[in-house]
Amino acid sequence: MGKFIELTAADGHKLAAFVAQPAGKPRGGVVVIPEIFGVNSHIQQTTDGFAADGYLAVSPAMFDRVQRKYDTGYSQPEIQAGVAIMQKLDPKNSMMDVQAAIAEAAKAGKVGIVGYCFGGTISWMAAARASGLACSVPYYGGGMHGLINEKPKVPVMCNFGETDQSPTLAQAKEIAAKHPGITAHFYAGAGHGFNCDQRGSWNAEAAKLARSRTIEFFRKHLG
């Protein structure tokens, strides 16, 4: 089980991060970027899961810049509150927070990044803008289509739900077409947030398949 530590970004901002250690010698490091619900129980469980697969897993509290200890559920008011905080974030600052998490995860070797929803967008951005990454796995990043012109510097594998509205299937296919070098998987019958077993949109089959592909991708690029 992981625990919270404090990271310091390049501008001196201090942020919390949930860190889970693998049992044996780590295969590498994984940065886990949360959805707009903060480093909540689901993200902690997900981070613990990557540690169980052999990685030093680090989930930074990206919302600490606006509101510390942000941790909510998935009701409509909570979604609206999360979106409001997300809109106050400056991408430059978010990348500094990602960079701090990469530095922590790098203690274990090569580093990959994975993110869900808001975290998917951040993971896509990080593939182009961050340093020290070996690969990136964005899940259904709602803001990815608006960042279609980013130029990933590392191997990227995207997981999209075919019934998602953010991004839509058409937008997701456009991203894949514009970046023939990336791997894009599309999950039939899966919508936004299909990986989260605490959400109504959870799709057990798609979540399991996407996770196995993600681990395989990390095995290939991290160890």
pLDDT tens digits for 11-70?
999 999 999 999 999 999 999 999 999 999 999 999 999 999 999 999 999 999 999 999
- The answer to whether the Cα torsion of 93, 73, 159, 17 is positive or negative is positive
Place of tokens 């058409």: 170
CA–centroid distance for 208 within its chain: 16
pLDDT at 13: 98
Has residue 1 got a pLDDT over 90? no
pLDDT at 150: 98
- The answer to whether the Cα torsion of 76, 82, 88, 90 is positive or negative is negative
pLDDT tens digits for 120-149?
999 999 999 999 999 999 999 999 999 999
pLDDT at 158: 98
204 neighbors 187 (Cβ within 8 angstroms): no
Domain with 18, as residue range(s), is: 3-221
Structural tokens at position 1: 């089980």
Gap between the Cα atoms of 59 and 7, Å rounded: 11
Burial class (CB in 10 A: 0-12, 13-18, 19+), 169: middle
Gap between the Cα atoms of 61 and 212, Å rounded: 25
Q: Which residues contact 204 (CB under 8 A, 6 or more apart)?
A: 197
Mean pLDDT, residues 187-215: 98
pLDDT at 28: 98
pLDDT at 53: 98
Gap between the Cα atoms of 72 and 69, Å rounded: 10
Report which residue type is found at 218: F
Mean pLDDT, residues 166-184: 98
Q: Which of 65, 110, 114 is nearest to 90 (CA)?
A: 65
pLDDT tens digits for 80-122?
999 999 999 999 999 999 999 999 999 999 999 999 999 999 9
Q: Which of 174, 35, 9 is nearest to 93 (CA)?
A: 9
Q: What DSSP designation does 169 have? A: H
pLDDT tens digits for 149-165?
999 999 999 999 999 99
Number of domains in the chain: 1
pLDDT at 42: 98
Structural tokens at position 82: 């999360």
Whole-prediction pTM: 0.98
CATH of the domain at 147: 3.40.50.1820
Q: What are phi and psi of 147, to 5 degrees?
A: -115, 30
Has residue 195 got a pLDDT over 90? yes
pLDDT at 181: 98
Catalytic residues: 164, 192
